[in-house]
Homo-oligomer: A and B are copies of this chain.
């Protein structure tokens, strides 16, 4: 019996014509379940009994970013954070909020940000990302 999560992950990988492997399935499922951007280490920690080498996870993430299924979130932290792109519009990711007190980061998935112009002084703008700092509800 395949779970809904399993089917979704399968579909996501197939949609990008990627080899369907156990490692990729697990990484995508971890990202599907997450409500915020995760690092390699966090993903590894959410794989249950399944274990994959960190190299595999890094390479999977790189592949998923390349085909546009995953976006990198910019967070005040040494490690890179990744999340599925399904909440993002073509030209803009949802914004992220990092609390300067507790350090936690939240996705403001339904906050509307006015998009910038597509052209600005010779620059051709394809994507836009916004980051907030301040106090989260728990710390305010």
CA distance A26 to B51 in the complex (A): 48
Pairwise interchain contact A123-B100, C-beta atoms closer than 8 A? no
- Given A130-B128, A130-B129, A130-B130: A97 and B74 within 8 A (CB)? no
Pairwise interchain contact B116-A132, C-beta atoms closer than 8 A? yes
Number of chain A residues close to chain B: CB under 8 A: 31
A62 in the interface (beta carbon within 8 A): no
Report B-chain residues with C-beta under 8 Å of the C-beta of A125: 97, 132-134
CA distance A121 to B112 in the complex (A): 13
A16 in the interface (beta carbon within 8 A): no
Pairwise interchain contact B120-A111, C-beta atoms closer than 8 A? yes
A-B contact pairs, 12 of them (CB 8 A): A72-B76, A74-B74, A95-B116, A108-B123, A122-B140, A125-B133, A126-B133, A127-B134, A129-B132, A129-B133, A130-B131, A131-B131
